[in-house]
Structure 1
Amino acid sequence: MLDCGHRLDLLVEDQVIVEIKSVSSLAPIHEAQLLSYLKMSGCCRGFLINFNVKMLKEGIRRIKI
């Protein structure tokens, strides 16, 4: 959990944030949420994963700041 009350889904090795979704399509607000988590945590890499797709590789977005 971040100090401001937000809860990220998964933090790997204190370096990578993984935000998990199951939506028909990822929206800009989902990416903005992950970017906010990255900025607040000091991490520079994140993955936005949507499990509501036929091929999982189509539901993965990598974000780096």
Structure 2
Amino acid sequence: MVDIAVDIHKALGPGLLESIYEECFCYELEKRKIPFSRQQSVDIFYDNLVIQKGLRIDILVDDLVVIELKAQETIHPIWSAQLLSYLKLTNKRLGYILNFHVPLMKNGIKRIIL
């Protein structure tokens, strides 16, 4: 998945809307026949409360890897906390933050493993 992000970034560069990078990322997954779901809604369970569609994951790859796409100039530490929460709430172990608004894509990639 990192290679997909790098290829997209090389072709388009930084400064576009997150939705454009998401569209391209999903296109590349389809080309490679990698299963994924886009804008996956997830219910949140707290005690006896169910919050339907409490969060939305940008891309869930092969029902295993959570991908959060960003296109922001300022990298926010809360993104890591957000992804960590998403992993815990979905019982997934691997996630990536891919921020396309950087001069070099390698500087916009953050991997989190539970």
Look up the match of 1:53.
102
Unmatched runs of 5 consecutive residues or more in structure 1:
none
The structure 1 segments of at least 4 consecutive aligned residues displaced by more than 4 Å after TM superposition are: none
Pick from 73, 80, 92: which aligns with 1:24? 73
Take 1:26 and 1:19, find their aligned partners in 2: how far apart are those partners? 13
**Identity level (%):** 45
Structure having the larger proportion of residues in helix: 2
Larger RCO, structure (CA 8 Å, separation 6 or more) = 1
Normalising by structure 2, what TM-score?
0.55
Look up the match of 2:37.
none
Equivalent residues, number: 65
Unmatched runs of 5 consecutive residues or more in structure 2:
1-40, 45-53
RMSD of aligned residue pairs (Cα, Å): 0.8
Normalising by structure 1, what TM-score?
0.93
Structure number with bigger Rg = 2
Structure having the larger proportion of residues in strand: 2
